[in-house]
Amino acid sequence: MTNSWTDIRNTDLVVIMGGNAAEAHPCGFKWVTEAKANRGAKLIVVDPRYTRSASVSDLYAPIRQGTDIAFLLGLINYCIENDKVQRDYVKAFTNAGYVVKQGFTYQDGLFSGYDEAKRDYDKSSWDYEIGADGFAVVDDTLANPRCVWNLLKNHVAVYTPEMVERICGTPKDKFLKVAEMVAECSSPTKAMTSMYALGWTQHSKGSQNIRAMAMLQLILGNIGVRGGGMNALRGHSNIQGLTDVGLMSNLLPGYLTLPNEKEPDLNAYMSTRGFKPLRPNQMSYWQNYRKFFVSFQKAMYGSAATPENDFAYDYLPKLDVPGYDVLRAFDMMHQGKINLYLCQGFNALQAFPNKQKITASLSKLKLLVVMDPLATETARFWENHGAHNDVDPSAIQTEVIELPSTCFAEDDGSLTNSGRWLQWHWAGGTPPGEAKRDTWIMAQIHLRLKELYRGEGGAFPDPILNLHWPYADPGDPTAEEIAQEINGRALAKVTDTADPTKVLAEAGKLLPGFAALRDDGSTSCGCWIYSGCFNEKGNNMARRDTDDPDETGAYLKWAFSWPANRRILYNRASADLNGKAWDPDRKVIEWDGAKWSGYDVPDIAPTAKPGEVGPFIMNPEGVSRLFTRGMMRDGPFPAHYEPFESPIVNPVAPNVRGNPAARVFEGDFRQFAEPASAEFPYAATSYRLTEHFHFWTKHVVVNAVMQPEFFVEISEQLAAEKGIAKDGWVRVWSKRGSVTAKAMVTKRIKPLTCDGKTVHIVGIPLHWGFTGAAKKGFGPNMLTPYVGDANIETPEYKAFLVNIEPVSGPVA
């Protein structure tokens, strides 16, 4: 989230699209209720189902899953056509006036540079004109036909209300009502917030779904303001933290990236990470990258990371592909190329697409290790549970070790919520049986491995032997010790670069924040964006002061918010060019002639003069991007692509199947149904229920009683057409698998008309399996396709094709 849960109270309009906060984030949704009750805010819900979020909305618009980009570009088109744009904001704070190179084109669904064989683009034409002064060429009048604004205008022109209806199935009058309400928020004194979740990410173009809304929010001037923003409602309690700390194939902590094999040394690595400003005077904060990187290496390798050895640059593995994401990992496993796999609190068998492929993959491992508080399906993938897990244990040669770990109630430490608050929690109970904390388990694995390498030698033992391990009890590091390591420490005296007499931190002391990081090896810091979380003032994540001056919802003294305890990202953009709040009633920070101050930690250098330094300090442009240059794999603008399995052919680009830049593995493509397939005519989607959390709460008796049994949700019309009785049994199958379920026949789902064709929707909730207190059941992943988003490889769980028929129930 750019903003926080408690900031939602400040909004005028909530758009819930790609999520269902009332059911999946109920206590956060209470801030929507608060804004409606106390501010007169309105709520719009756009969803294929009439959810509980929709049931309290002011306006509900149905949409076919997988068509959000057409809808959102339709809204942008409406705003531009009707001059509902916050002009001053767009001109000053976005790249609308930046002139794009000759050669950049978009035609028939493809941007310039497409290579069909590689399913990839040569992105060299997706960039700005660079002037003789080395800076990007900008036309402040927006008259240049090649400036971003005019390219955008042309790009979205096709998404008329009629085209939106044709693609999305949203009736034109509903769409226009949404558009009118959204367009009102182009006023500087009106703010709209976007609340989205996995309903946007779990598509083969998930990243572009989010970009499309971010672009809309920028042209409405809603980024950086109270009650505005792009608010990703993360699915789990510390998904945000695990990503911030970089536990992904291609990441280092704090959104630094792992080197690839074309970067043999630190200089080569840094050469593409210089972030030289693209306009005069801009901060381009990533220019400090080297400080973050070197400090991270010092946290990892301590005294073994020296200037002479490029701070142990060779200790880092180098990538040969963009990333070993889970889809690639399980495809490799399927080919027998992975021998050992360790799962820490992750139920892969239930969570990944195309379960048959996952089972076959796990069956090829030599060893699977599962660390979990609960008895998961993954640890028992080899166990026969009839139709619910139809395997022959004797044919599966995988050794499985299951390790009992603690749960939240038996562990100290911090979690990062959606609003970027790092909140400390304290253990209250003794772990059951022999269950151990994950920190203990990981320490034991490391120490054992180190002992083996010390005794036997072996392949490049250096990074294992030299891993910095500064804990009082090496076998059982405490959460406080690690939190301090994440925050960072001065290894030598650190002084202010502008005033060397001013000491920022004495040697050995905790760093006050990331501004004190250095690139000469004199500081260590595990995750730069978290620096400040545990400094000489104490554990700031454990703060519990609820003081909130003027009730802005900032709560600056509650816990710690990254970065630098800032509660609203880009908050400089809440003020106009002269530094005065766009909306005096919704002030965040203002310029007083000498410095920035207000209700939040300014997201700008405190003395950076307005008009000189742009508000988007992480970007070399200093402004936000309506056009992303070559940073996204599938285009600098979003474009509508159908899901890989789609009930209709793409009306705006009939020759393009799916997202043309999405990676598809051989074998998986053969397992996709054809577009407009007669064999698989129904559009399926997956979702959560409010009574359950993922595959955990089926282990809880109370929740298992509330929602005991797997079902699928279909409309009355489809039930009538197929002769399916309410609560009757059905079989649902895709090209990859089959499930049986009870049918919930409902008014919440209605057939849509898309491109002249009736499209029926089948809803499949995800909470069942074969362990726990609930009845055994299937989930959507028996059916889902094995393909991910073009940029970040999140699987397309939300849009695929199935068939359905009534069947007699299972024999009791």
Partner 1 sequence: MNIELSRRAFLQTAGAGLAGTTLGALGFGDIEAAHAAAIRSFKLANTTEARNTCPYCSVACGVILYSKGDLRKGEQAEITHIEGDTDHPTNRGTLCPKGSALLGFVKAPTRLQQPMIRKPGADKFEPTTWEDAIDRIARLMKDDRDQNFVATNNDGVTVNRWITTGFLAASATTNETAFETYKVVRSTGMLVFDNQARV
Least distance CB 52 / partner 1 (angstroms)? 11
List the one residue from 207, 697, 734, 803 that touches partner 1 (CB under 8 A): 697
Strand partners, 114: 121
Nearer to partner 1, 312 or 656 (CB): 312
CB proximity list for 611: less than 8 A, separation 6 or greater: 577, 578
In angstroms, the CA 188 to CA 180 distance is: 16
Q: Is 428 in the site for partner 1 (CB under 8 A)?
A: yes
Using CB under 8 A, pick the residue from 119, 236, 509, 742 that binds partner 1. 236
Sequence-ordered list of residues with C-beta below 8 angstroms from that of 673, at least 6 positions apart, any chain: 645, 679, 680, 734, 735, 800, 801
Question: Closer CB to partner 1, residue 167 or residue 300?
Answer: 300
Q: Is 31 helix (H, G, I), strand (E, B) or coil?
A: helix
Q: Cα–Cα distance between 256 and 72 in angstroms, integer?
A: 30
**CB under 8 Å, gap of 24 or more: what pairs does 315-321 form?**
315/462, 315/463, 315/466, 316/252, 316/258, 316/259, 317/258, 318/258, 318/259, 318/260, 318/261, 318/263, 319/249, 319/250, 319/258, 319/259, 319/260, 319/261, 320/260, 320/261
37 binds partner 1 (CB under 8 A): no
Contacts of 614 (CB under 8 A, 6+ apart): 92, 93, 279, 282, 283, 621, 622, 623
Q: Cα separation of 637 and 235, whole Å?
A: 26
Which residues are CB-neighbours of 503 under 8 A, at least 6 positions away?
A: 493, 494, 495, 496
Residues 192-231 that bind partner 1 (CB under 8 A): 202
Q: At what angle do helices 172-183 and 161-168 cross, to 10 degrees?
A: 120
Position 316 contacts partner 1 (CB under 8 A): yes
Type of residue numbered 557: K
Which residue lies nearer to partner 1 by CB, 222 or 416? 416
Reduce the secondary structure of 287-302 to three states and give it as a string: HHHHHHHHHHHHHHHH
Q: Which stretch binds partner 1 (CB under 8 A): 104-112, 363-371, 563-571, 674-682?
A: 363-371
Site string for partner 1, 81-110 (x = CB under 8 A): ------------------------------
Q: Which of 404, 470, 521, 708 binds partner 1 (CB under 8 A)?
A: 404
CB of 118 to partner 1, least distance (A): 20
Task: Return the residue of 84, 155, 437, 625 that touches partner 1, per CB under 8 A.
Answer: 437
The residue among 129 and 402 lying less far from partner 1, judged by its C-beta, is 402
CA 112 to chain centre: 27
The site map against partner 1 for 596-635 (x = CB under 8 A) is ----------------------------------------
Within residues 284-313, the interface with partner 1 by CB under 8 A covers 300
> What is the Cα–Cα distance from 784 to 327, expressed in whole angstroms?
13
Closest C-alpha among 423, 462, 468 to residue 296: 468
Nearest to 18 by CA among 42, 47, 43: 47
- 755 lies in the binding site for partner 1 (CB under 8 A): no
Q: Which of 309, 398, 746, 758 binds partner 1 (CB under 8 A)?
A: 398
Interface residue with partner 1 among 83, 133, 434, 550 (CB under 8 A) is 434
Asked whether position 797 contacts partner 1 by CB under 8 A, the answer is yes
Among 143, 367, 387, 725, binds partner 1 (CB under 8 A): 367
- Decide whether 23 or 165 has the Cβ nearer to partner 1: 23
Q: How far is the CB of 684 from partner 1 (least distance, A)?
A: 17
Q: Which tokens belong to 276?
A: 């030289």
Q: Any contact of residue 352 with partner 1 (CB under 8 A)?
A: yes
Within 143-162, the residues that bind partner 1 by CB under 8 A are: none
Bond before 708 cis per omega within 30 degrees: no
Query: Tokens representing 185?
Result: 């928020």
Q: How far is the CB of 299 from partner 1 (least distance, A)?
A: 8
**33 touches partner 1 (CB under 8 A):** no
Interacting stretch for partner 1, rule CB under 8 A, among 106-114, 150-158, 243-251, 576-584? Answer: 243-251
- The upper half-sphere exposure of residue 231, i.e. CA atoms within 13 Å in the direction of its Cβ, equals 35
Identity of the residue, 104 or 341, whose beta carbon is nearer to partner 1 in the bound complex: 341
Among 59, 80, 142, 239, binds partner 1 (CB under 8 A): 239
Distance in angstroms (rounded) separating the CA atoms of residues 368 and 360: 13
Q: Which of 257, 288, 359, 690 binds partner 1 (CB under 8 A)?
A: 690
| Least distance (Å) between residue 568 CB and partner 1 | 15
Strands 106-107 and 110-111: antiparallel
Q: Could you tell me which stretch among 82-90, 108-116, 327-335, 732-740 binds partner 1 (CB under 8 A)?
A: 327-335
CB nearer to partner 1: pick between 529 and 653 = 529
Contact 221, 86 (CB under 8 A): yes
Q: Pick one of 366, 454, 537, 580: the residue that binds partner 1 (CB under 8 A).
A: 366
Contacts of 463 (CB under 8 A, 6+ apart): 301, 312, 315
The span from the CA of 218 to the CA of 230, in Å, is: 10
Buried b (16+ CB within 10 A) or exposed e, 381-393: bbeeeeebbebee
Exactly one of 12, 331, 377, 411 binds partner 1 (CB under 8 A); that residue is 411
Among 161, 229, 253, 602, binds partner 1 (CB under 8 A): 253
Q: Does 456 bind partner 1 (CB under 8 A)?
A: yes
463-522 positions binding partner 1, by CB under 8 A: 463-464, 467-468, 477, 479, 482-483, 485-486
Phi, psi torsion values for 558, nearest 5 degrees: -100, 120
Number of residues that bind partner 1 (CB under 8 A): 164
Q: Are 491 and 524 in contact (CB under 8 A)?
A: yes
- Cβ closer to partner 1: 146 or 425? 425
CA distances from 258 to 302, 330, 629, 708 (A): 19, 21, 22, 44
- State which of positions 701-740 bind partner 1 (CB under 8 A): 701-703, 706
Q: Which of 131, 274, 280, 393 binds partner 1 (CB under 8 A)?
A: 393
Cβ proximity of 136 and 128 under 8 Å = yes
Q: Residue 442 in contact with residue 468, Cβ under 8 Å?
A: no
User: Which range, of 210-218, 542-550, 581-589, 798-806, touches partner 1 by CB under 8 A?
Assistant: 542-550
Among the listed residues 102, 141, 501, 546, the single contact to partner 1 using CB under 8 A: 546
Binding to partner 1 by residue 270, rule CB under 8 A? no
Which residues in 652-681 contact partner 1 (CB under 8 A)?
A: none
Quick one: 158 or 792, whose CB is closer to partner 1?
792
Of 459, 472, 678, 812, the one binding partner 1 (CB under 8 A) is: 459
Contacts of residue 791, Cβ cutoff 8 Å, sequence gap at least 6: 206, 207, 208, 632, 633, 634
Q: Which stretch binds partner 1 (CB under 8 A): 269-277, 347-355, 595-603, 742-750?
A: 347-355
State the nearest-atom distance from the C-beta of 704 to partner 1, in Å. 9
Among positions 47, 68, 244, 583, the unique one binding partner 1 when judged by CB under 8 A: 244
Tell me which amino acid residue 579 is: G
* One of 131, 264, 280, 611 touching partner 1 (CB under 8 A): 264
Smallest separation, CB 538 to partner 1 (Å): 16
* 6 scored as a contact of partner 1 (CB under 8 A): yes
Decide if residue 550 touches partner 1 (CB under 8 A): no
- Would you say 62 or 241 has its CB closer to partner 1? 241
End-to-end CA distance of the chain: 47
Beta-strand relationship, 110-111 and 413-416: unpaired
The only residue of 112, 125, 160, 237 in contact with partner 1, by rule CB under 8 A: 237
Contact, 16 vs 58, CB < 8 A?
A: no
